[in-house]
Amino acid sequence: MDWFYVKGILILSGINLLAVLGLSLLTGFTGLFSFGHAGFMAIGAYVTASMSIKFGLPFIPSLMIGAMGAALVSLFIGRWTLNLKGDYFCIATLGFGEAIRLILDNVQYFGGARGWPGIPLYTNLTNVLILNIIGVVILVNLIRSRHGRNMKAIREEELASQIIGINVFKYKMTSLAISAAYAGVAGGLLAHYTGFIQPKMFQLIKSTELTIIVIFGGLGSISGSIIGAIVLTSLPEILRAFAKWRLVIYGMAVIFIMITRPQGLMGGYEITYGNIKKLVSRIFSIFNTKKTLGGDKQ
Amino acid sequence: MATFLQQVINGLSIGSVYALMAVGYSLVYSIMNFSNFAHGGVIMIGAYLGFFAMTLIELPFIIAFALAAVGAAMVAVVLERVAYRPLRNRNAPFLYFIISAMGASIFLENIVIATIGPNFRTYPRVFSATPYTIGSISIGRLDLTMFWVSAFSLAVLIFIIEKTKTGMAIRATAYSGRASVLMGVNTDRIIFIVFGLGGLLAGIAGVLFGMKYTVYPQIGFITMKSFIAAVFGGLGSLPGAVIGSVLLGTIETLTAGYISSQYRDLISFVLLILILIFRPRGLMGKVTEDKA
């Protein structure tokens, strides 16, 4: 295992993590489920790549334009589909994601289904890391703000939050747009990491993968999403020895998590300084009580 | 006019197979209120069972058909037992069911790739290639078989749902799960039957599709179409699923015939989004209201 290989996995985890952070805001904190985030990633990837190739813009501005492109499309989609209840919004995003892929398949300007090679390789571990840190900081601050609390209120009880005066539709739109922007940046990074993009890379299975990571990490937990992205992106690499069996194991693992630990790895908790201190003191208190109780059976 | 009629006939034969799969979705949705994305995997298993029954064991066509249907039904029932029942016992929200279904479909697809291989396989020819011709319209023998086998299976299904006591229990559970439990309906048994019926039809659809095109591990993706059809007709409604499927099949063949076959899938997904925007309950779906 040389450093180059490990670095590749880390960069891919970082790219996935950005998309997952966005999805975590939408799914974990606003309670909306999307199976179309690969579509937003595709928009981000294609817009960013065309900015840097066809218009010759530097990396960061083109990433930002890619993010804005994804956010704008999401506002358009959200305007029409966010009124739908539960399952139906999910299906609408699924249809949207597939439609984006099929449109890109037919746009010859971007190479169509054959893909688009020759994208400059700007992405490296440093800028992925920096963007992830910025992403986490923005997300944590957003969630702790008044707006974040409103989103959580919508997740818990939509009708009640509407009654106390929260503009449910506006907050859902905001959440969707921010999460699409994150996915757009992730797509742009991916395009400039692999140097080649193809509509096939943004299939439904990619959206599913992102949702699975969010749920694996635990809904409503950013640290869970971070751990989930790193573990689940590197898991197929670790399982590479099993070759074609690895996706079989992956599928079984997903079902297993769903039926045994549906609250995910972190179960809504965060790794913060305060929580670690609490956990440590609780562990010590267990030791202490054991000492005082001695062999007492209760 | 003749080409138009020809396209409509092709659409009907494809649409009727979509209907076989779409009723599987709709049945499960009507009882359990979630979209069973693992249905595609069941269809794929049916297609492979039929293929191996006809090539390896060289069973006659009809028996291979029955074997595929029963095998697919068994897979569907086992899937329900393993992946959904623990969730159901816990009253998990619908998303967990969907994720579990996605996991199951990844599992089924890849276990076939790992054991049988990712190759495309072609069914042995059962029907002669010479079509029936009526005037200037020709109907392939296979297309005709697809149509009547699907129509017959759907007729049997609708008879079971509408006329038998079990069917009444299924309808009651779909209407109100809690009330039907209070009336002494065994929900576990109903769900077992629903998955079994859906699996039988999925197996039949898998064999028909395999014969029309080829068999490959990703064949389950075709169920995306039948899923769109189920939404089109209204999730949870059987007649809706059938009508939606036939309409979707016709729209697809017309698109392929008059615009371009490249846009066929795109049109289907755009149609899905448009339906969800303008009439989310589909043509004849039940009205869902958010009860707080």
**Tens of pLDDT, residues B130-168:** 778 877 777 888 888 888 888 999 999 989 988 999 999
User: What letter represents residue B140's amino acid?
Assistant: G
pTM to 2 decimal places:
0.84
Least confident among A282-296, B48-62, B203-217: A282-296
Q: Do A254 and B102 touch (CB under 8 A)?
A: yes
Percentages helix, strand, coil for chain A (3-state, rounded to 5) are 80, 0, 20
What is the SS3 assignment for B36? coil
CB contact under 8 A, B273 and A252: no
Q: Is B107 on the interface with A (CB under 8 A)?
A: yes
> What distance in Å separates the CA atoms of residue B200 and residue B52, rounded to the nearest whole number?
17
Query: How much of chain B, in percent, has pLDDT values that exceed 90?
Result: 21
| Chain B touched by A65 (CB under 8 Å) | no
Instruction: For helices B238-258 and B141-163, give the axis angle rounded to 10 degrees.
Output: 160
> For A160, which DSSP code?
H
Residue B292's pLDDT band, with cuts at 50, 70 and 90, is: very low
Interchain contact A196–B (C-beta under 8 A): no
Say which of B90, B107, B266 has its CB closest to residue A255: B107
B57 interface with A at CB cutoff 8 Å: no
Q: How far is A247 from chain B (nearest CA, A)?
A: 6
Higher pLDDT, B223 or B199: B199
pLDDT for position B258:
83
What residue ranges do the domains of chain A occupy?
3-292
Q: Tell whether B259 lies on the interface with A, counting CB pairs under 8 A.
A: no
Q: Which of B180, B198, B183 is nearest to B76 (CA)?
A: B198
3-class state of residue B216 by DSSP: coil
Report how far apart, in Å, the C-alpha atoms of A282 and of each of A269, A277, B192 are. 15, 9, 46
The end-to-end CA distance of chain A, in Å, is: 52
Residue B91 has phi, psi (to 5 degrees) of: 55, 45
Cα separations in angstroms, B147 against A103, B140, B204: 31, 11, 12
Residue stretches of chain A with pLDDT short of 70? 1, 86, 243, 268, 288-298
| Phi and psi, residue B132, nearest 5° | -80, 140
Lowest mean pLDDT among A277-281, A284-288, B63-67, B103-107: A284-288
Alpha helices by DSSP H, listed for chain B, are 2-32, 39-55, 61-79, 85-89, 94-115, 141-163, 165-175, 177-182, 187-212, 223-233, 238-258, 264-278
User: What's the pLDDT at A221?
Assistant: 87
Strand, helix or coil for residue B134? strand
From A85's Cα to the closest Cα of chain B, the distance in A is: 8
Residue B69: which residues within 8 A CB-CB, separation 6 or more?
B46, B199, B200, B201, B203, B204, B207
- Cα angle A54, A60, A62 (rounded to 5 degrees) comes to 30
Q: Do B99 and A215 touch (CB under 8 A)?
A: yes
The answer for residues whose C-beta is within 8 angstroms of residue A49's C-beta and 6 or more apart is: A62, A116, A119, A188, A191, A192, A197
pLDDT at A86: 64
Whole-number pLDDT of residue B290: 45
Question: Of A223-232, A268-277, B93-102, B119-128, which gets the smallest average pLDDT?
Answer: A268-277
Of A127-141, A261-275, B113-127, B175-189, the one with minimum mean pLDDT is: A261-275
**Res A292: pLDDT:** 52
- List of chain B residues whose C-beta atoms are within 8 Å of the C-beta of residue A242: none
Mutation target for B interface from A32, A35, A87: give the one with most B CBs within 10 A: A87
Inter-chain CB proximity A91 and B96 less than 8 Å:
no
Beta bridge mates, B132: B139
Fold of A3-292: ABC transporter involved in vitamin B12 uptake, BtuC (1.10.3470)
Q: What is the pLDDT of residue B261?
A: 76
Residue reference for tokens 């998990």? B92
Q: Is the ipTM of this complex over 0.95?
A: no
- The pLDDT mean for chain B works out to 85
> Does B265 score more than 80 pLDDT?
yes
Please give the residue of chain A at the shortest CA–CA distance from B282.
A88
Question: How far is residue A226's CA from residue A126's CA, in Å, rounded to a whole number?
Answer: 17
Q: Do the beta carbons of residue A21 and residue A139 sit within 8 Å?
A: yes
- With vertex at residue A271, the alpha carbon angle to CA A269 and CA A276, rounded to the nearest 5 degrees, is 105
Q: Is the pLDDT of residue B262 over 60?
A: yes
- DSSP secondary structure code for residue B121 in this structure: B
* C-alpha to C-alpha distance for A240 and A236, rounded to whole angstroms: 6
Please say if the pLDDT value at position B117 is more than 90: no
Tell me which chain A residues have a C-beta less than 8 angstroms from the C-beta of B92: 258, 262
> In which region does residue A267 sit, left (phi positive, over 0), alpha (psi from -120 to 50) or beta (all else)?
left
